[in-house]
Amino acid sequence: MLGKKLVTAQKRGETRALCLGLGMVVCSMMMYFFIGITIVPFYTKSVWTTETVCKVLKVSIKDQSQHPCPNSDGSEDEDVFPYPCLQVRVNLTASGQEVMLYATEDTLELNPKCSYVPDKSEKEVKAKIEKIASNFKNHQTVPCYYNPGGTQTNVIHSRLYPPKGLLFVFLWPTLMFTGGCLIIFLVKISQYVSVLSAWQ
């Protein structure tokens, strides 16, 4: 009677362990799929792949205006922004060209006239932009990324998804997948040993 209870408890434990292992494998595959459709396209789309050093030439801040004023033809002035517009011009050492420096890839898409675009949730935007401008003025050279293919003449200060960051993102689902497979493997080994012992 006691032996049957032990066998039943062992089977329940093995079933739960198998469910845990399979659940971990399924969750890791879902994480791989989510990363593949969200983060990987941004990484592959970025053309700023080569890191180099840029020499800071000019740092300026244009005044902000909360309400863009229309021109005489009815269109809004493109040089009027709802925040102080930081513009950083650098010398790309790889080619010797004077180009615009942007914070990230998104900055160029959000506003190609400003080197930095603050988030809507940020407070004291003016003070932060002035601090960023001061940091650029205090450093003659800064690390930057450029497009070796030449399709983009501008440079960015940092990539949103660098290779190391992409590897770190894939680390957690890989660990979960490996752990799930290991649990399933150990359960199967335990079942095999149990059957072999009972047969002997």
169 or 8: which leads in pLDDT: 169
pLDDT tens string 56-97: 999 998 876 544 444 444 444 555 677 889 999 999 877 778
According to the model, what pLDDT value does residue 75 have?
Answer: 45
Q: Which two tokens stand for residue 115?
A: 């080197």
The reported pLDDT for the residue numbered 70 is 43
Element spanning 131, H or E: helix 125-138
Residue 116, Cβ neighbours under 10 Å: how many? Answer: 25
Task: Give the whole-number percent of the chain exceeding pLDDT 70.
Answer: 82
Extract the tokens encoding 169. 């993102």
- pLDDT tier, 11 (very low <50, low <70, confident <90, very high otherwise): confident
CA distance 17 to 73: 72
Is residue 7's pLDDT more than 60? no
Three-state DSSP class for residue 150: coil
Cα dihedral across residues 101, 105, 107, 111: positive or negative: positive
Retrieve residue 4's tokens.
Answer: 């049957």
Q: Where are the domains of the chain?
A: 50-70+79-161, 162-199
Give the pLDDT confidence of 128-142 residue by residue, as tens digits: 888 988 988 888 889
Q: How far apart are CA 166 and CA 179, in angstroms?
A: 21
**Tell me, what's the pLDDT at 25?**
94
* pLDDT for the residue numbered 88: 92
